[in-house]
Amino acid sequence: MTILQLFIDSTFSDSESGNTRDIEYPADSTIHLTAAEASSADAERAIAAARREFDSGQWRHTTVAHRGDILRKVARRLLKDKETIARLETFDTGKTYAECEMDVDDVASVFSYYADQATASNGRVVDPSVPGISSKIVTEPVGVCVLITPWNYPLLQASWKVAPALLAGNSIILKPSELTPSTTHYLVKVLIEEGVEPAAVQLLLGAGADIGPTLTESPDVDMVSFTGGLETGRTIMKSAAGTVKRVALELGGKNPNVIFADADLPAAIDNALTAVFLDSGQVCSAGARLVVEESIHDKVVDELVRRAREIRVGDPFDSATETGSLISSEHRQKVHTYVERAREQGATLLCGGEIPEGDLAKGYFYPPTILDRCDQSMDCVHDESFGPVLTVETFSGDSDEEREKNAIAIANDTIYGLAGAVWTADASRAERVARQLRHGTIWINDYHPYVPHAEWGGMKQSGNGRELGPTGLAEYLEIKHIWHNTQPAVAGWFANSEDASATAGEANSGDN
Ligand code: NAD
């Protein structure tokens, strides 16, 4: 069986301890590969190698155009290897092969987008209006960047960090989720083969809780960019505080999908299904909270239930399958517990809510589930269950203004602020609501699309940085002001400055 190795100091190797971890195919719970499990000693070696490369190596001194060319080659290569990569991703995640193929397309677009950014100038000249002064703002790489990613979109989340970090000239230490190491490992091979300086890339595999503190507390690490759960994000932020390193956090969401009565209902209902059930709800921006106007509640919910029951859950490699399995037995139990607790707390279960038996029992499948008559007092409404579970809340009011105000209040009633949508035929209401929702991405009459050119990230406890777009590159750059006095002169601030000037003058004439 294949054993995935770590990549440290330009060499693929086992972990120092020799420890390994078996990786399951979640759709049938068989072991499909084994991966080296990094220890703190491996993390120390990776940090030392990355530091050495950044302080005295070559990568940061190559031209940005050269680095952009390499990113473009990486994009082409990923497309060429799409089938292999999509298979690896499917085996690690249990997500449908069709979705994994689309993910590879998206990953390639991210590398291409940042390749194009190589020609965008980041510096600027400042005119301080002082004779003899040249003043300019330049950008530089941040340094050693630790990039930690989750299991739900393993390669995509890695690409959002790796492409801008490498374009900027940083040394990176990649740490994918212990559950889904394959495609990140594959990416590291592609990066090296397509020309990235090997010493600028380190790969650590294994549990984050074990090696995390070594990485996040180290004074030799300049930045941690993390995508994952809220609790882990809080831990990382605290542990990075001791060295005041740069921390970028992309955390969870509890995303409202708001439907007004005047919306195009067939489109709204169809998209509400994709919003929450795509990838079995294991999407940070999943529209897991339906916030629907009371007057259309029955019509919308009846149709959603009818359609949800028809969603084909099953073998990720079968092209007829619409959604695959959850990531693990433990995660499915967590999702199921949220559903059971919601029922105890007063929600009405309309469909799903049971762990499947029969053919699906081998894997960690969970059916599309709809919980009606929910409110903020229920755990499943305010916590991220991260599964195929839709909660339904309603809003009403005596006037248009009141209904709008109530919808916004419900949609914003969450500690998270990642994404959300509003459905209405009234364009001015759509704009008003979009501006008042405290979430980092708002879709109007749509759900889920994103492009690498547009920033992605959360408000409130969904995070503190932005990925993608120009801001996604700026995360990996330091800004430096260089003030150059081409006519140095005595400043004359202190009392003896005239003497200093005279002394300097004498010294100068003596030299002559
Ligand atoms: P997680 O927080 O359990 O793990 C994420 C990564 O952190 C893994 O690589 C893990 O090994 C590592 N880790 C765990 N403990 C650590 C520690 N103490 N120090 C350093 N690293 C540590 O998250 P998950 O379950 O893998 O992913 C699901 C979560 O990710 C969801 O909350 C989802 O919303 C979020 N997510 C957010 C976005 C976004 O763009 N905002 C995108 C995808 C996923």
Q: Is the CB of 232 under 6 A from ligand 1?
A: yes
pLDDT at 509 over 50: no
Tell me the mean pLDDT in the region 490-503: 72
pLDDT confidence of residue 505: 52
pTM across the whole model: 0.96
Query: Of 99, 178, 250, 467, which residue is the catalytic one?
Result: 250
The span from the CA of 102 to the CA of 86, in Å, is: 8
Using a 6 Å cutoff on CB, does residue 251 contact ligand 1? yes
Cα 103 from Cα 112, distance rounded (Å): 14
Is 284 tagged catalytic?
A: yes
pLDDT in tens, 172-194: 999 999 999 999 999 999 999 99
> In 3-state terms, what secondary structure has residue 387?
coil
User: Does ligand 1 come within 6 angstroms of the Cβ of 7?
Assistant: no
Most distant CA atoms of the chain, gap in Å:
98
Please report, rounded to a whole number, the percentage of residues in the chain having pLDDT higher than 70: 96
pLDDT at 470: 96
Phi, psi of 424 (to 5 degrees): -165, 155
Q: Give the tens place of pLDDT for each residue, 121-177.
A: 678 899 989 999 999 999 999 999 999 999 999 999 999 999 999 999 999 999 999
Q: What is the number of other CB atoms lying within 10 angstroms of the CB of residue 289? A: 27
Dist CA 97 CA 95 (whole Å)? 6
Q: Report which of 413, 420, 405, 406 is spatially closest to residue 458, judged by C-alpha positions.
A: 420
Nearest CA to ligand 1 atom 19: 212
Is residue 118's pLDDT more than 80?
A: yes
Instruction: Tell me the β-bridge partners of 423.
Output: 259
| Both structure tokens of 13 | 């190797």
Which has more confidence, 292 or 509?
292
Across the chain, what does the average pLDDT equal?
96
Determine the 3-state secondary structure of 215 from DSSP: helix
Beta bridge partners of 371: 349, 391
pLDDT tens, position by position, 202-227: 999 999 999 999 999 999 999 999 99
Read off the pLDDT of each residue in 318-332 and give the average, rounded to a whole number.
98
Query: Cα(504)–Cα(488) distance, rounded to whole angstroms?
Result: 12
**pLDDT at position 495:** 78
Partners of residue 75 on adjacent β-strands: none
Q: Tell me which DSSP letter residue 439 carries.
A: S
Residue 336 has pLDDT above 90, yes or no: yes
Give the pLDDT of residue 119: 82
Ligand 1 contact via 256 beta carbon (within 6 Å): no
Lowest-pLDDT range, 120-124, 228-232, 437-441?
120-124
Sign of torsion, CA 438 444 445 446? negative
Q: Are 254 and 383 in contact (CB under 8 A)?
A: yes
| 359 pLDDT above the threshold of 80 | yes
CA of 149 to the centre of ligand 1 (A): 6
Residue 115 near residue 73 (C-beta atoms within 8 A): no
Is the dihedral angle over the CA atoms 190, 193, 197, 202 positive or is it negative?
Answer: positive
* Residue 467 DSSP SS3: strand
**pLDDT on residue 152:** 98
366 alpha carbon – ligand 1 mean position (Å):
21
Please give the average per-residue pLDDT across 51-66, as a whole number. 97
Has residue 334 got a pLDDT over 80? yes
372/289 Cα distance (integer angstroms):
10
Cβ-proximal residues to 320 (8 Å cutoff; 6+ apart), any chain: 312, 314
* Residue 466 beta carbon below 6 angstroms from any ligand 1 atom: no
Structure tokens that stand for 402 in this block: 């009141």
CA 479 to ligand 1 center in whole angstroms: 28
CA of 120 to the centre of ligand 1 (A): 31
Residue 300 has a pLDDT of 98
| Residue where the block lists tokens 């960047």 | 145
Dihedral sign from CA coordinates of 412, 413, 416, 420:
negative
pLDDT value at 496 more than 90:
no
- For residue 295, pLDDT over 70 is answered with yes
3-state SS string for 312-335: CECCCCCCCCCECCCCCHHHHHHH
> Residue 126: helix, strand or coil by DSSP?
strand
Check residue 403 and give its pLDDT: 98
Distance CA 324, CA 366 (A): 9
